[in-house]
Structure 1
Amino acid sequence: MKYYFLALVLTAMSIKGLAQDKNEQAYRKASAEIKQQVFAWDKPQFHVRDIPKEYANASKVVIARHTELTSESKSGIAFYFGGIGSKRELNILEIVREVIKLNDKAAVEYYSELAFTKFARTSGFYTSEKLSTYVGIRIIKPNGKVTEINADDVVLTRDDPKNKKAKIAVPNLEPGDIIDYYIASDQQLVNEQGAKEYRILLFDDAPILNLSFHGELGKKMAILYRSYNNAPDLKIGKNNDKEIIIDVQKDNIPAYETALWIAPARQLPFIRMSISLGYSGLGAKYNGTRRPGEILKLENENEILDDIAQDYSESYYYNYWLLAGRKQYGEIEKTAQKKAKQMGLKYKDLTDDEKAALLFYTFRGALMGFDINRLSETLNIGSREYNGAAFPLFAIMKVAGMEPAILLSEHNRGYRLKDAMSRSDLQSLAYLPGSKKYFSINTIFDFPFKIPDFVEGVQNTKSITFSHPVAVGSMKKIAGMSNVATGPRIPASMAKDNLRQENLRLSINDDISTLRVKRNTILKGHYKLDAQQSLALYEDIYESERKSFGDKESLLEALEDGKKSKKYVEEVKNAFAEARKNQKTAFVNEAKEWFEQDVTDLKDHKVTSLGIRHTEPDFVYSSSFNLDGLVKKAGNNIIVEVGKIQGQPLSIKDNNRNRTIDVYMPFARGIEYVIELEIPIGYTVEGVQELNKNVSNETGLFIVEATTANNIITIKVKKHYTHNFEPAANFTKMLSFLDAADEWTNAKLLFKKAN
């Protein structure tokens, strides 16, 4: 029997190996065919070699970039677990070819290795997706010699049947070379109902001499599109086969700032298309599907707002107005009433704001509820996202007798309300118009009245309320339940509201090579989330909320009291212990990342305030450790490079200093240090007064105040960004305090050995 089983295993392995060989052969054959086709494109722009003088100092110059996008679809019959259904297949092939002149070492380093997804596949009961990627690379030397890189001999960075990621080295690149390469992506979709978004980008961080796009989409396709930020319109037509033909061309595109404080949706030129298989059958009108062959340019916000209003009307009707839907939100209120009693509160006497806060915390507690069957996921709850949970929060407050609304807002660095193409382009919050209070759950660390950073300062909002349907005869009546009105301007926070406060007690260790650091960090406002997600433990969050609600039993005690859960107590204890052990590593990594120096001998690490309640909003943690890289011996003396305590602050390079586009930052913010550095016994200090600096204007500030008293040097450092947005004209003012902070990195103190 065992030999029979072994034979089966060997046979299965052999079949798998043959299948892999067959797939690889098919891949290489397709790759060769695409290579021959693409490098044979007869387009004059790919043969340009003379670069305009104005781009002589550019790191790289895109001589030509051309994209070919084609799609075709077909329908048929398929069998699904014994049943028969329709099958719609969609194939999308995108080929992007670029010819780029590399002018310096930075460009050479960037293109010395290309990474791509060679093959990926996902599948489900009714849908499947397959993606294959092909690459071709040629190097053209200044003397005209052409060298082709064998792109099929790649290094797989991930190799499994459904996902192969690869990279390929491009050797012997030198400044002055031209790289001519393409990436072709062949995507096959089955029964894909949703639209695929596609962008034609008309910008780069390098100048582009010629950019072109050509698309040929099957006659069953439908297109919804918009041009953004002065991008040209699409040239659209149809050929004799009724296929949709799309062309775009633009010459001499200057380099854009694409990395530092930008909002691409608001500042950079591009064309956005929503491509889908058209459908004109039953329910198409109310499902928002497009007809086969339809080409629609969106030109005003009402088209999308009407769709969003219909979506919310259906949610309101099915998930609130109908008793079954409303009942689930009523359970949250019942739980909140019990919590209020435990806390010694009279629920009926609470104000709307107090009641809304209690309901918020109760709902959040339900989201983070403990599940022994998904223990690892439960412990990683800090990484979960809830997309605002606007409708559930609205419904919970509505069922509790309040008059909330849903607020539809722009993303302050994303698409404007008038430029939206789908509901996902806009942000939703629950809102109490009477007290002008906002509610949103994006992570488990959010609390009531906290405004997400991405909607702060937005002026264009819409307030959505609902009316009860008179009749339930059609989808049209349901869609008419939404009442959309102009909403309020959302306030913006100030630098003092989003603060990082580092309180550091420093002393020079006996080895005179490291500093001993006692650290206490206070994070306020939008500065908290990253640290909360990495340093806070589920066990501590759970216990903190339990005590706030007045619950008597700890989680472990509750598990021990349960008949079914008692057997899991040891497993949970071990999981909690492992998480607490890993917390130290998280503290070390966080300190290394912040100070940008080696951190050793970390101890006494703890979180003293979780920052998950509006009554205790700050996240506070502390630790002690040795910090490398700041202390040097100089004969009998000691030099402390105190300016490096701030890590490496933002340094604006020469090519980014002449800014012509506005500055979009995530939020107004401040970083502050209070440093107490002990003067070693037997030493005197020089350079304290030279640490002082004061640069400030309406855009921000960098201030250092240094004093000495009782053998302690106290250094107070403040760096503030006043607003989350600055017009381009103010960038020079920003440079003044940014440069001051950058220069202060070189600040040093000299400790001289007393004679």
Structure 2
Amino acid sequence: MIKYSIKILLFVLVIAHVASAANDDPKRAEEVRQMMWKDSDPEFSVTAIPNKWKDKSAVIIAKYNMLSYRKAALSTSLEYIRYNHNRIMLLDKSAIEDYSQFTIPESGTYGNIRSAFYAGFKIVKPDGREIEIPLSKAVKEELEVNNSGFNKLKLAIPNLEEGDILDYYFGEERRIVLASKYFSFDPVIFQLHGDYPVMKQKITFDVLRRCFINLKSLNGAPDFALASDHKNDKNTYTLVDEDRESIKDIRWLYPNRQIPSIKFKITYASSFAASAPTFIGEPGVLKSEVTKEETKKLVQYMFNTSSYYGGELKAYMKKHHKKEKDLNKLAREAYYAYRNINRIKNTEARLLYGKNANESSSIVRDVITLSNYYRWNDIPHKVIIGVPREISSIDDLILENELMMMIKVTTTDPFYVGRFTNHSIVGEIDESLQGTRAYQVDGVLPTPYWVLNETKVPVHNASENNTMSTYAIKVLDLDEDKVNIAIKKSVSGANRIFYQNVLMDIYDFKEEEASRFDMGEDFEGYKKSEQKKLLQRKTDYVVNREKQFNESLKAVVSNDLDLIIDEPKDLEVKQTGRFHDEPEFIYTCNTDASGAIKKAGRNYLVNIGKFIDGQIHLSDEERKERKYDVYDSYARSFEYRIEFIIPEGYEVQGLEKLENNVENATGGFTSAAKIDGDKLIIESKKYYSSNFNKKEDWPLMVEFLDAAYNFTQQQILLRKQ
């Protein structure tokens, strides 16, 4: 199953410039309607569900995913057809809310692709009545994406009630004008489990027999059955599956690694285009394995055929570090110089044009560029080739776009280069590769001499991804439940990325960058007319900058603390965390807040536990025996220091409830409290020891997760003296 969010766009294709309504071809729309509701499989007439699922939020009675990849003889275009038909019984208000509204893209043309969209919705009442919802009821809205608008339709499904069956379908028929003899369709992943249990599902796809098919069934998913149509030069593959339990709201689950899934990609290529070293196999034959040799040839091809990268880096390093003999320093300086050339010089303009200034660039291009420079200067290094752990192991590699690369510099002071972003530093390993098995090659050698060897990528320990929060709390008014919190956060490793992207922009680190690199004048290299536009945009941006950051700051503080937050202010970035010698991102601010103090006669109860960040509250269902291993993003730790100024005339009681010491192999939570003069000092720490735990160790995780949450519920008594 491909999981779709009901209330967001269901087909990821931007339709712009030329658009018309969905179902805009009445004749074809009626043919599709007939196919889905009149000629469908018998399971789409079922109205009963198994007793074992009566208490579920919803049950999918039947679902059918049909895909088709075609090319007519002598045609210069390809046809891609995709239909999803679903029949689901809604059993509670939560499911009704989930399915109360759909968003449908309109038919239209984008570039060399013409897409026609079709959809249909009907409600089947428990008494058998069928109520079709016409698309004429849909409301057109405009959506802006990267400054380009495209139309979408919002359709409300009225009068849904518990016990109703919703039967609906979506379809896209896409025509692609070929620009070359090679075209790779979008990869597709189906997960056979989803948010709701599934009684029966079917997946079919047909392809011209001369197309190339990469397909792999994972985690116990059944295989496809093949039916060949030699007369029409077509192969059809079918998978039938049934009785799948739901996996809704399972925490720390990597579905592609743990849930029965199928991933595949179809490629059209002429015999000449197919000779390039990609992962395609023989035309018309399923390919479900990729060898180490095929991986090597593809990576060699990428390095050998990429456009020339690195000339500007080479020139800069020659100018500024020509006499540097220490390869450890040279390798690090080259990384930061490349970050400046490739990322920072364009960041201000991207920001002012409203684009994502922190967006990652092409990791493949970046690795090639830096590896080229290291090779030119005989800096020993390895190029590491792996697959992100949330996708699959290296053994299950089947698609070219699953590959991910990074560099390990092997000088006397070795380090990894795993990120290429505005704020990445040397020594970081992308969490997607941590703990995985991968391949590595000697980057100094010319590509014809490369040999792929297996390696294990390390996992950063919890202390390397750390958040240290200090909350200095002063009571403003006990009766009004009002406090002021002076906040200081020091964040390192992967923990810092969110805060850097949300609470900092180019104007926080432009001066720091200029002190190390040739930044030039504002918008140097742009045309004068463009410079004028950018300077005006800069003026407008700076006027609103403080307001925008205060809004972001409020969202951050409100997310961190389970309190009612007033307007935070006085945000100050103390350290940017953009170089390895000062790797922590440090900021301060302060805010007034409420929601922690209650009057108790002459005294007051203070929910002091709320002054550490909000903690995970496990449901009763989650505490049960876990069925799946725990895949966490990365090992990490959180430290808290609370400095609560005791109001004059009061003493604190209840410190003993603030003592915790729960530590085991999976992580821990500790806390301690003391009185120091007029302050209550509380220090606590929570940490996740690893990015992976076996399901059998889940009870150990529950221990420290519960301890952390229970701490947030603890109160102290301010007793009137």
Give the C-alpha shift of residue 674 in structure 1.
Answer: 0.5
Q: Which one-letter code corresponds to 1:536 in the other structure?
A: M
Equivalent residue for 1:501? Answer: 468
Is 1:406 the counterpart of 2:371? The answer is no
Residue among 128, 132, 136 paired with 1:144? 128
Give the C-alpha shift of residue 112 in structure 1.
Answer: 2.0
Q: Return the alpha-carbon distance in structure 1 between the equivalents of residues 141 and 597 of structure 2.
A: 40
Equivalent residue for 2:359? Answer: 383
Maintained 8 Å contact 2:22/2:117: no
Specify whether residues 715 and 41 from structure 1 end up closer, same or farther in structure 2 by C-alpha distance, changes over 3 A only.
Answer: farther
Maintained 8 Å contact 1:277/1:292: no
Q: Return the alpha-carbon distance in structure 2 between the equivalents of residues 143 and 558 of structure 1.
A: 71
Q: Which one-letter code corresponds to 1:501 in the other structure?
A: M
Give the C-alpha shift of residue 147 in structure 1.
Answer: 2.5
Maintained 8 Å contact 1:304/1:421: no
Deviations 1:653-672 (A, max 9, x none): 23333311111111001122
**Residues 113-512 of structure 1 mapped to structure 2, 5 A cutoff:** 113-119=101-107, 121-123=109-111, 128-158=112-142, 163-191=150-178, 193-219=183-209, 221-239=211-229, 240-256=231-247, 259-280=250-271, 282-286=272-276, 288=278, 294-302=284-292, 304-315=294-305, 325=308, 329=310, 331-340=312-321, 348-370=323-345, 376-377=352-353, 381-387=357-363, 389-435=366-412, 436-465=414-443, 468=446, 481=448, 483-510=450-477, 512=480
When normalised by structure 1's length, the TM-score is 0.84
Q: Return the alpha-carbon distance in structure 2 between the equivalents of residues 379 and 110 of structure 1.
A: 31
Give the C-alpha shift of residue 482 in structure 1.
Answer: 5.1
Maintained 8 Å contact 1:598/1:627: yes
- SS of equivalent residue, structure 1 residue 402: coil
Q: Return the alpha-carbon distance in structure 2 between the equivalents of residues 162 and 699 of structure 1.
A: 47
Deviations 1:472-514 (A, max 9, x none): xxxxxxxx72512214322211111111111000112236232
Deviations 1:50-104 (A, max 9, x none): 333332332222221112223332366xxxxxxxxxx722222222112222232
Residue among 488, 501, 512 paired with 1:544? 512
Quick check: 686-695 or 159-168, which moved more?
Answer: 159-168
Is 1:741 the counterpart of 2:708? The answer is yes
Q: Which one-letter code corresponds to 1:242 in the other structure?
A: D
Give the C-alpha shift of residue 257 in structure 1.
Answer: 5.8
Q: Return the alpha-carbon distance in structure 1 between the equivalents of residues 676 and 409 of structure 2.
A: 52
Residue among 71, 74, 80 paired with 1:73? 71
Specify whether residues 693 and 69 from structure 1 end up closer, same or farther in structure 2 by C-alpha distance, changes over 3 A only.
Answer: same
Deviations 1:164-207 (A, max 9, x none): 22332222223322222222222222226233212333222322
Q: Which one-letter code corresponds to 1:588 in the other structure?
A: K
Equivalent residue for 2:41? Answer: 43
Give the C-alpha shift of residue 355 in structure 1.
Answer: 0.8
Q: Which one-letter code corresponds to 2:77 in the other structure?
A: E
Equivalent residue for 2:569? Answer: 603
Q: Return the alpha-carbon distance in structure 2 between the equivalents of residues 537 and 159 of structure 1.
A: 26
Specify whether residues 330 and 139 from structure 1 end up closer, same or farther in structure 2 by C-alpha distance, changes over 3 A only.
Answer: closer
Give the C-alpha shift of residue 584 in structure 1.
Answer: 2.9
Maintained 8 Å contact 1:304/1:422: no
- SS of equivalent residue, structure 1 residue 382: coil
**Residues 620-631 of structure 1 mapped to structure 2, 5 A cutoff:** 620-631=586-597
Q: Which one-letter code corresponds to 1:453 in the other structure?
A: E
Specify whether residues 184 and 311 from structure 1 end up closer, same or farther in structure 2 by C-alpha distance, changes over 3 A only.
Answer: same
Could you tell me the percent identity over the aligned residues?
Answer: 23
**Between Structure 1 and Structure 2, whose CA radius of gyration is higher?**
1
Maintained 8 Å contact 1:313/1:466: no
Maintained 8 Å contact 1:462/1:486: yes
Q: Return the alpha-carbon distance in structure 2 between the equivalents of residues 567 and 46 of structure 1.
A: 58
Is 1:533 the counterpart of 2:501? The answer is yes
Deviations 1:240-268 (A, max 9, x none): 31212111101212233674212223211
Extract structure 1 runs of 4+ deviating beyond 6 A.
Answer: 159-162, 556-559, 562-571
Maintained 8 Å contact 1:309/1:482: no
Specify whether residues 574 and 199 from structure 1 end up closer, same or farther in structure 2 by C-alpha distance, changes over 3 A only.
Answer: closer
Maintained 8 Å contact 2:23/2:119: no
Specify whether residues 50 and 292 from structure 1 end up closer, same or farther in structure 2 by C-alpha distance, changes over 3 A only.
Answer: same
Specify whether residues 331 and 215 from structure 1 end up closer, same or farther in structure 2 by C-alpha distance, changes over 3 A only.
Answer: closer
Contiguous gaps of at least 5 residues in structure 1 = 1-18, 77-86, 320-324, 341-346, 469-479
Maintained 8 Å contact 2:632/2:692: yes
Equivalent residue for 1:97? Answer: 85
Deviations 1:639-687 (A, max 9, x none): 3322333454222223333311111111001122111111222333333
Give the C-alpha shift of residue 438 in structure 1.
Answer: 1.6
- SS of equivalent residue, structure 2 residue 340: helix
Q: Return the alpha-carbon distance in structure 1 between the equivalents of residues 444 and 400 of structure 2.
A: 18
Contiguous gaps of at least 5 residues in structure 2 = 1-17
Quick check: 440-449 or 669-678, which moved more?
Answer: 440-449
**Residues 528-677 of structure 1 mapped to structure 2, 5 A cutoff:** 528-548=496-516, 572=538, 575-576=541-542, 578-580=544-546, 582-634=548-600, 636-657=602-623, 658-677=625-644
- SS of equivalent residue, structure 2 residue 572: strand
Q: Return the alpha-carbon distance in structure 2 between the equivalents of residues 26 and 330 of structure 1.
A: 52
Q: Return the alpha-carbon distance in structure 2 between the equivalents of residues 200 and 586 of structure 1.
A: 36
Give the C-alpha shift of residue 464 in structure 1.
Answer: 4.9
Specify whether residues 629 and 375 from structure 1 end up closer, same or farther in structure 2 by C-alpha distance, changes over 3 A only.
Answer: closer
Equivalent residue for 1:709? Answer: 676
When normalised by structure 2's length, the TM-score is 0.87
Maintained 8 Å contact 2:278/2:400: no
- SS of equivalent residue, structure 2 residue 159: coil
Q: Return the alpha-carbon distance in structure 2 between the equivalents of residues 44 and 557 of structure 1.
A: 64
Q: How many residues align?
A: 690
Give the C-alpha shift of residue 288 in structure 1.
Answer: 4.1
Specify whether residues 183 and 712 from structure 1 end up closer, same or farther in structure 2 by C-alpha distance, changes over 3 A only.
Answer: same
Q: Which one-letter code corresponds to 2:652 in the other structure?
A: V
Give the C-alpha shift of residue 623 in structure 1.
Answer: 0.4
Is 1:730 the counterpart of 2:682? The answer is no
Residue among 478, 481, 485 paired with 1:513? 481
Q: Return the alpha-carbon distance in structure 1 between the equivalents of residues 190 and 114 of structure 2.
A: 23
Specify whether residues 155 and 631 from structure 1 end up closer, same or farther in structure 2 by C-alpha distance, changes over 3 A only.
Answer: farther
Q: Return the alpha-carbon distance in structure 1 between the equivalents of residues 448 and 258 of structure 2.
A: 36
Quick check: 715-724 or 22-31, which moved more?
Answer: 22-31
Q: Which one-letter code corresponds to 2:317 in the other structure?
A: A
Q: Return the alpha-carbon distance in structure 2 between the equivalents of residues 170 and 558 of structure 1.
A: 54
Q: Which one-letter code corresponds to 2:313 in the other structure?
A: I
- SS of equivalent residue, structure 1 residue 509: strand
Deviations 1:572-631 (A, max 9, x none): 566455445533332222222222544324332100010010100000000011123323
Maintained 8 Å contact 1:279/1:289: no
Q: Return the alpha-carbon distance in structure 1 between the equivalents of residues 529 and 89 of structure 2.
A: 71
Q: Which one-letter code corresponds to 1:535 in the other structure?
A: L
Quick check: 251-260 or 198-207, which moved more?
Answer: 251-260
